[in-house]
Amino acid sequence: MAINIAPKSSDTELNELIRDITSGKTQLPEFQRSWTWDDGRIRGILASLSQGYPMGAIMRLEYGNTEVKFKYRPIEGVKNATETPDHLVLDGQQRLTSMYRATCSKDPVETKTEKGKKIKRFYYLDIKKCLNDNEDRYDAIIPVPEDRRIKKNFNREIVLDLTTRELEYEHEMFPINIIFDSSAREDWADGYKEYHEYGKEFLERYKTFRTNVIEVITGYKLPVITLGRETPREAVCKVFENVNTGGVALTVFELVTATFATYEFDLRKDWEECRSIIWGVNDPLNTDVMHGVDETAFLTAITLYTNYFAKTMTTCKKKDVLALSFDSYKANKPALLEGYKMARKFLFSQYVFRMRDLPYTTQLIPLAAICAVIGKSTFNLPRTQNILARWFWCGILGEMYGGANETRYANDIEDVVDSITNEQSLDKSRTVNGAYFSATRLVSLQTRNSAAYKGIMALVYRESCRDFMKGTTMDIVKSMDESPDIHHIFPEAYCKKQNYQKEQWNSIINKTPLLPESNRQIGGDAPSKYCQKIMKDAQIDEAQLKSRVESHLINYHAFINDDFKTYFVDRAKAIMTVIEETMGKVISDKGSEQTIKIYGVSLEDQRSN
């Protein structure tokens, strides 16, 4: 259902906004990132402000919604803000902070150059340049170091000295940081006139400057869009993402962090501790397989687990994560951490050892939540492992987790837990039921980017494939220690010389995991040739070589005789047999016209001997 947030819009004097910032009536939600503008952008906005140019709307949220308890903080540079805020700035922080610090702070503005060097600056209006139509207003905004001296020649020569009011009067440099202080502004004007002995030229110049510049700034109005205090967190998040296209998009995690901060709880720090557990940092087998689990995924998994046990519908969409209560987070976090530990163990059992080999990081959300629900003793049962494995591989080989997945996560936890605990047939699982693998898909898997590609390589690992040279099985230790990679079986250079179709020789059917030593032996030679080098250097006979090659689902006879066509068709059949066994489903198009067109034959017959 769409949410009508009915924002109010009005033109508001900058002077009023500045007063509210100073008092603390206007502050920032904790999730807002720090002020980042450099010296050039500050001068740019001051130039626009002094000419009355529009600079876009400010968006703010009324503070006080009991359901949206965002922690808040003052705008940078504000000191001794004592009031509870009336409004929190959602969009316009950079502009408001730049204007506040330049026009109100008695301290130098701590900013940076375009190259990122930290500097401190006071800003002045050059009165003569401001009134000269041939001068760009940007050049009339004069940034001065914190000692109020502009120097050159390695700081040996002072170009402009503004260390006293008299020197400001002399050089006709108006300090911008008094412009909203009417008393200080009038004192400066009186001193300026007196210093120049009330000369007509100076009186007229200041009068014109006051009318054309000062009053433009002090009377400046900005369009301000105000969201009512009844606006839900989901809408705040969406609004912030939409208006913050120029920066880094706000995450759900940052909004929840701001909400939990009202309980004096640091969610970022807590996540760092949880992350170490999820990633298995201190475990004996320390791999990066879980490193794709980020803070938002973790909150989504907790929300999924929480809502599974709630009386309402199981759901974990963004609005549900934003609605996650602090009490639910604290109560359910331990179970989810155990769920992630079990999920990591399960990945290893499926021969997924590294993050780059993990088909879907997103699938870990329902996997961890499912494990958390069933608990460790049920998880360890062989029947449970079989159910999880079939669901896991159907999701991967059916390529089910590529888009928006929140509804699928909810289906998964309901269906898979039901299958495990109530002996409900997994065929009724919406993910398993919807999974489909086509015989023609094998040929289209050309790069390691797709989930199905990674999944099939893991299945080859799971078949206990052995390296051609070393004969070692690709278990977790070997995988992490020696880093096998995916290589062509019939080498690329050889296939090109033979004018084989790239669609075939570059597909996953012609690829397998091997250690670097084997890949070096393969080079660009035909299998019959590089196998001779392998047997010689590895000091093995042909029977041993044949055993190693066949462990990769390869027809050794076709392979050793460089019979690419027979080898290609036979390995496709072998891979599909493993896929069918893993998914518990028959691949239905092995004899289709499209399959015959691609492979040259039907794949329904038995593998060659």
pLDDT tens digits for range 98-134: 999 999 999 999 999 988 999 999 999 999 999 999 9
What percentage of the chain reaches a pLDDT higher than 70? Answer: 93
Q: Minimal CA–CA distance to 411: which of 394, 428, 399, 425?
A: 428
Q: Exposure of 4 by Cβ count < 10 A (0-12 exposed, 13-18 middle, 19+ buried)?
A: exposed
* 142: Cα within 13 Å, side-chain hemisphere: 23
**250 — pLDDT class (breaks 50, 70, 90):** low
Give, for 596, the enclosing helix (H) or strand (E): helix 593-599
3-state secondary structure 182-207: HHHHHHHHHHHHHHCCCCHHHHHHHH
Q: Can you tell me the distance from the alpha carbon of 256 to that of 334, in angstroms, rounded to the nearest whole number?
A: 18
pTM score of the predicted model: 0.72
The single-letter code of the amino acid at 484 is P
Alpha-helical segments (H) within 114-232: 127-130, 137-140, 165-171, 182-195, 200-209, 215-218
141 DSSP β-pair partners: 125
pLDDT above 50 (res 608): no
pLDDT digits over 465-513, tens only? Answer: 999 999 988 766 565 666 678 899 999 999 999 999 999 999 999 999 9
- 322: how many CB neighbours lie within 10 A of its CB? 20
Residue 318 CA: distances (Å) to CA of 113, 243, 308, 324: 38, 18, 16, 10
Amino acid occupying residue 332 = N
Asked whether residue 183 carries a pLDDT value surpassing 90, the answer given is: yes
Instruction: Check whether 12 has a pLDDT greater than 50.
Output: yes
Partners of residue 142 on adjacent β-strands:
124
C-alpha span between 567 and 576 (Å, rounded): 14
Q: Where are the beta strands (DSSP E) in 407-499?
A: 485-488
- pLDDT value at residue 286: 81
**30-39, 56-65, 416-425: which range is least confident on average?**
30-39
Which tens digits make up the pLDDT trace of 201-228? 999 999 999 999 999 999 999 999 998 8
Backbone angles phi, psi at 192, to 5 degrees: -60, -45
Q: What percent of the chain has pLDDT over 90?
A: 71
Task: Indicate if the pLDDT at residue 415 is higher than 70.
Answer: yes
pLDDT for 609 equals 44
- Mean pLDDT for 554-565 is 96
pLDDT in tens, 67-97: 667 788 899 999 887 788 999 998 888 999 9
Tens-digit pLDDT profile for residues 374-390: 999 999 999 999 999 99
